[in-house]
Amino acid sequence: GQSLEQPSEVTAVEGAIVQINCTYQTSGFYGLSWYQQHDGGAPTFLSYNGLDGLEETGRFSSFLSRSDSYGYLLLQELQMKDSASYFCAVRFKGGATNKLIFGTGTLLAVQP
Amino acid sequence: DVKVTQSSRYLVKRTGEKVFLECVQDMDHENMFWYRQDPGLGLRLIYFSYDVKMKEKGDIPEGYSVSREKKERFSLILESASTNQTSMYLCASSLHRASYEQYFGPGTRLTVT
């Protein structure tokens, strides 16, 4: 089967570092993406890992380990505006190449 | 910037009505997608299209149909709306068939009474 698992909620304080995990069960996929969605807003693309390792974009970093079937999004120097839902997504091999499967999302609450 | 627009932000329909949700993108993207988003279930793919007049079923196509007569426009049709189709509907587009980045519209919150 193909599934992506994320924690439903994470809480952290301003200025802290938080890690949002994404574990998956699949026979193979092309890469792992992360999206951010503020309450009432549209999901927006944050990052993509095509290869194992760490990708850094400003305060946000994303990591992928295919051997461990695991990835994460790391948010540093948290700000109140980072309060949002975060979704991981993959394109699985063997299916339509343009189809993304999304995780169920993690609601991040940043407290003062 | 890519812009994806959806015809309505909020919509209220009665059970049994035929409902049309429209999506337009302005960046000549090949692929367009319709998702529904429900609490605790994330985004689930209903249908997608990789070219004009081409469509493929997603994970939850039952009760829905789609139309793509022009490259920039992708319509979702609920032939006979039911209360279990009350949801947030999100349209998205991506440039190429193998693109990993999708651009989303603001969503239509549909309530079926």
Q: How many A-B residue pairs are in contact by the CB < 8 A criterion? A: 58
Query: What pLDDT band is residue A82 in, cutting at 50, 70 and 90?
Result: very high
B48 in A contact zone (CB under 8 Å): yes
Per-residue pLDDT at A31? 86
Query: What pLDDT band is residue B54 in, cutting at 50, 70 and 90?
Result: very high
Q: How far apart are CA B20 and CA B16, in angstroms?
A: 13
DSSP 8-state symbol, B86: -
Residues of chain A with Cβ-Cβ distance to B56 below 8 Å are 96, 99
Residues of chain B with Cβ-Cβ distance to A98 below 8 Å are 31, 48, 50, 94, 96-99
Give the other-Cβ count within 10 Å of A67's Cβ: 6
Per-residue pLDDT at A84? 97
Residues of chain A with Cβ-Cβ distance to B25 below 8 Å are none
Express each pLDDT in B65-78 by its tens digit: 999 999 999 999 99
Average pLDDT over residues B55-82: 96
